[in-house]
């Protein structure tokens, strides 16, 4: 095998990255930490980023701008809802900007942000905090290796120290 390995489906890719918004706010970075290892082609990254990394080699870097539609979606006005005060425990001191862990009727976890507290209820925003934002990634490929059978079966990468299952 003389072919250089490139980013492709079923490859474990380690990336160094910095994520900023259009206004320059830095949301996330791997700087100063281990690179992020993920299994390519299994939906572990947002689609608009994963698609742009195909074919890259170790040492390559790229700036990728991901529109909301390929990131966390547009802001959905219907995802802002007024919930009755009865829904919340009496001893919970709600404040605007507070993040709450809620659940759907089926029991799926759902994060919401308190927007406003009104006499008639609490206005919650169920949009993803990054909905409506263009995501600007500065990515470089730190390492590539074939996935193990176990990783392919699980659909995600396992770290050097395992992850407990």
Question: Interface with Zn ion by CB under 5 A: which residues?
Answer: 154
Q: Which of 152, 153, 137 is nearest to 45 (CA)?
A: 137
Please give the residue whose beta carbon sits closest to Zn ion in the complex: 154
Toward Zn ion, which CB reaches closer, 115 or 154? 154
Closest approach, Cβ 157 to Zn ion, in A, equals 8
Closest approach, Cβ 37 to Zn ion, in A, equals 12
Say if CB 41 and CB 131 are below 8 A apart.
no
Q: First and final CA of the chain: distance in angstroms?
A: 33
Closest approach, Cβ 155 to Zn ion, in A, equals 8
Toward Zn ion, which CB reaches closer, 42 or 154? 154
Closest approach, Cβ 42 to Zn ion, in A, equals 11
Toward Zn ion, which CB reaches closer, 128 or 154? 154
Toward Zn ion, which CB reaches closer, 115 or 156? 156
Q: Which of 121, 55, 51 is nearest to 88 (CA)?
A: 121
Toward Zn ion, which CB reaches closer, 3 or 149? 149
Say if CB 41 and CB 10 are below 8 A apart.
yes
Closest approach, Cβ 52 to Zn ion, in A, equals 25
Strand runs labelled E in the chain: 11-20, 26-29, 36-39, 61-66, 80-83, 99-103, 109-118, 121-125, 135-146
Query: Which 8-state DSSP code applies to residue 10?
Result: T
Helix (H) or strand (E) holding 51: helix 47-53
């Amino acid at each position: 095998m003389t072919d250089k390995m490139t980013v492709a489906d079923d490859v474990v890719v380690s990336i160094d990255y910095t994520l900023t918004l259009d206004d320059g706010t830095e949301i996330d970075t791997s700087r100063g930490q281990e690179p992020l290892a993920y299994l390519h082609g299994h939906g572990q990254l947002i689609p608009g980023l994963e698609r742009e990394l195909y074919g890259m080699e170790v040492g390559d870097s790229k700036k990728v701008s991901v529109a909301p539609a390929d990131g966390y979606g547009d802001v959905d006005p219907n995802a802002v809802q007024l919930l009755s005060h009865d829904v919340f425990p009496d001893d919970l001191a709600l404040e605007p900007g507070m993040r709450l862990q809620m659940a759907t009727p089926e029991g799926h976890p759902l994060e919401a942000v308190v927007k406003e507290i009104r006499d008639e209820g609490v206005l919650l925003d169920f949009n993803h905090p990054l909905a409506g934002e263009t995501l600007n990634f500065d990515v470089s490929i730190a390492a590539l290796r074939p996935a193990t059978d176990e990783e392919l079966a699980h659909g995600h990468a396992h770290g050097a120290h395992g992850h407990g299952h």
